[in-house]
Amino acid sequence: MLSASTTVAFPRIAAFLEAILDSLAAHDMAVAAEDGAHVARSSFGEARLEPGDGTLTIHVRAVTGPELNRVRHAITGLIGFVAKSEQLDIRWEGDVAGATLPPDLRILTVREIQVLTPRMRRVMFDGADLGRFATGEQIHTRLLFQPEDAVFPEWPLLDDAGLIQWPGGVQRLGSRVYTLRHVDASAGRLWIDFFDHGGEGPGARWLRRARPGDVVGALGPAAHGPKPARRMILAGDETGLPGIARILEDAPKETRGLALISVADAAERQPLRAPSGMEVRWLLRNELPDTQPLAAAIRLLDWEADRADLSVWIGCEFHEFRTLRHFLRDEVKLPAAQVVAFSHWRRGMSEEDIIAVGGDAVAA
């Protein structure tokens, strides 16, 4: 077993600890309190976080060097993002492995591209060893896009500091996070539904030029799927639609509830398979006066009904996500254990802008 550790000067650890643990849990790590510490376990290894008086001590361990670097990267990257304002100095001591490929990296090859709606494309990929993605608990992946002038694919490495080493020392690979719409590990195939928002981000540019035979890298999975419950309320815009569609397809047939889906106009609706007890309601923004139609519709629901076996899943733009989360937490007072909510994008900010700001850019 390989191991490494660090003690970080962290004067405001108490203000960030909950957000750090939530972020670890959202990235495929099971977090539990043990003997005054917090232990995060994943398929790669584990991390033990021990908050102190103005410090945070972290011990990580894993079986192999690539796995140890993957755990170090998860801790360094997630804590660094959540607490970016603190400018933490995270320096690891312990076993070294050198620069290694991420052990969760899978290479996907475009098999087919289907047009679902005027602005939604389904890309079907082939790949090997996709079993780790076949889970309903973590339903997102980070895709890595090769530059347009790439002759041979190149992939980033993880070093002993928990940092990314880009090919040639320059970050030329674009990346974005997407929902795993469907995974068939036995057939070596998965689908991702891409919404073309008309922008110039790396995913949008890649989608417009994508052809069968093109390759992308996939990391993860990450980000919680829905919490099991007999009654569900799902809400999302076009970026949350692939997740809602997958949740509806995977839900037990006795599930009942409501799916609220906000799209630009009627042309963006698509057929969905759902249990008979799940109502699907499309909110067409070109016909509605509300700037936050999901929030307006959620407020009109009967929240006095029995909530003992209710699960809420939300995926949409940051400002509407924040409105919904505050409403459910502060007015409805729905326990956090019954809510999974994501800000899939933020109007006026690219992912690079958000990373530069850190966790404050997406804090609810």
| Span 41-50, pLDDT tens digits | 999 999 999 9
Over residues 53-79, mean pLDDT: 97
Is the predicted pLDDT of residue 53 greater than 70, yes or no?
A: yes
pTM value? 0.94
Residue 101: pLDDT band (50, 70, 90) is very high
- The helix/strand/coil state of 260 is strand
Q: Rank 22-26, 185-189, 200-204 by mean pLDDT and report only the highest.
A: 185-189
Domain ranges of the chain: 2-94, 106-223, 231-350
Domain over 106-223 is classified CATH 3.90.870.10: no
CATH assignment of 2-94?
Answer: 3.30.310.180
Is the predicted pLDDT of residue 93 greater than 70, yes or no?
A: yes
Amino acid identity at 86: E
Computed from CA positions of residues 319, 243, 281, 333, in that sequence, does the dihedral angle turn out positive or negative? Answer: negative
pLDDT at position 364 is 64
In angstroms, the CA 225 to CA 231 distance is 15
- Residue 71: CB atoms within 10 A of its CB come to 27
Residue 151: pLDDT band (50, 70, 90) is confident
Burial track 187-205 (b if 16+ CB lie within 10 A, e otherwise): ebbbbbbbbeeeeebbbbe
Amino acid identity at 58: I
- The overall average pLDDT reported for the chain is 94
Q: 231-350 has which fold?
A: Rossmann fold (3.40.50)
Over residues 100-106, mean pLDDT: 96
Over residues 269-279, mean pLDDT: 97
Residues of the chain above pLDDT 90, percent: 83
Residue 350: pLDDT band (50, 70, 90) is confident
